[in-house]
Amino acid sequence: MELSRFRPFEEKIWDFFVPKTNNGTLFHLRSFLNYHPNSRFNDHSILVRKKGKLFSLFPAVEQIIDGKKILFSHPGATVGSFSLPENLSIADALCLGEQLIKYAKGKKFQSIKINLPPNLYQRRLSNYMEYSFFKHGFKYSKREITSILFLEKTIEKTKKKFRPSHLRAVRKAIEKNIIVKESKDIEAFYTILKNNLEIRHGVSPTHTLGELKQLFNLFPKKIKLFSAFLDEQMIAGVVTFQINQRVLLAFYISHDERFSELRAVNLLFYHIFEWAIKFKFQIFDFGIFTINGEPNMGLGRFKENFGASGIFRDTIELNLDY
């Protein structure tokens, strides 16, 4: 296998390849990664060729942290790692791990860090690549839990997974005349999101308003805002990312605290599930409810009450010795 650093003229080849792979996601696309300002990251993405033919992609940047040069896949995306062929063999997986380490050492990196996609993001389940990473000495540096709901063929069957409290909450929101619809009012949602995060956690959103607008403009079919309204006023919203053809991710979930008793978020998710089922999504990812491994129990229970269960979203790292 031959590894080479990504060059800008290869962007179309890259983005054409990602959807064909077993585990390629929205976060692997150059068109997504490029929304970051040039000053934020020093891109060091890698193309892998086997017998001259494109075989795999590795979105990454190089960072200097505490004086240490790190190859990181990818700090600007929820997940990274290799975008792999569906028929990946154990031999090729082991070779990929070996060649990545050889490449990184050749470029004088002192560490490799990877945000692994959850296994359920794959079309064809395989742990070959994870096996290869650990066989070559990678260790967990962080293990978070994300909440996954398997969507049934109809909303009626999916709704049977809801616990009684959530069914009552959906009915209450309907009785209070909450209306759910897709919205383009990013600014109204961002105001709710920013206020909510400041009140609850004392933090700001991952994206600036400008960056979020840019992402909506880049991916009008893949990134959507579903909002709940009371008398034409937005009181809650969920921003979804279409990870691939199977998985829909809730990237932002927020509501106006003044209207929390109306249970608009519960009704929002009911309609999002209905929409996702209509468009043949099989998995809904609510996102993580742990921060540095510590669970937010209330948030975890909220997601469980829809019928969700937890799976790992892992970060692994290898310190390189010369």
Whole-number pLDDT of residue 322: 58
Answer whether residue 309 shows pLDDT above 70. yes
Answer whether residue 199 shows pLDDT above 80. no
Task: Decide: 79 and 24 in contact? Cβ < 8 Å.
Answer: no
List every span in the chain annotated with CATH 3.40.630.30. 2-143+314-319, 152-281
Answer whether residue 44 shows pLDDT above 90. yes
Answer whether residue 35 shows pLDDT above 90. no
Could you tell me which CATH number the domain at 2-143+314-319 has? 3.40.630.30
Answer whether residue 167 shows pLDDT above 70. yes
Answer whether residue 205 shows pLDDT above 90. no
Torsion angle of C-alpha atoms 226, 229, 234, 236, degrees rounded to 10 = -60
pLDDT band at 27 (very low <50, low <70, confident <90, very high): very high
Residues of the chain above pLDDT 70, percent:
99
Name the average pLDDT for the chain. Answer: 95
Tokens linked to 191: 């105001």
Tokens linked to 32: 């997504």
pLDDT band at 39 (very low <50, low <70, confident <90, very high): low
Task: Decide: 158 and 251 in contact? Cβ < 8 Å.
Answer: no
pLDDT band at 202 (very low <50, low <70, confident <90, very high): confident
Question: What value does the mean pLDDT take over residues 123-143?
Answer: 97
Answer whether residue 38 shows pLDDT above 90. no
Answer whether residue 186 shows pLDDT above 70. yes
Question: What value does the mean pLDDT take over residues 270-295?
Answer: 96
Q: What is the pTM of this model?
A: 0.94
Task: Decide: 10 and 47 in contact? Cβ < 8 Å.
Answer: yes
Whole-number pLDDT of residue 245: 95
Q: Which has the closest alpha carbon to 121: 161, 80, 75, 74?
A: 80
Question: What value does the mean pLDDT take over residues 179-186?
Answer: 96
Answer whether residue 321 shows pLDDT above 80. no
**Cα–Cα distance, 60 to 186 (Å, whole number):** 29
152-281: CATH superfamily: Gcn5-related N-acetyltransferase (GNAT) (3.40.630.30)
**Cα–Cα distance, 6 to 26 (Å, whole number):** 18
73-123 pLDDT per residue, tens: 999 899 999 999 999 999 999 999 999 999 999 999 999 999 999 999 999
Whole-number pLDDT of residue 262: 93
212-239 pLDDT per residue, tens: 999 999 999 999 999 999 999 999 999 9
Question: What value does the mean pLDDT take over residues 182-201?
Answer: 90
Token pair 């599930």 is found at 273
Residues of the chain above pLDDT 90, percent:
90
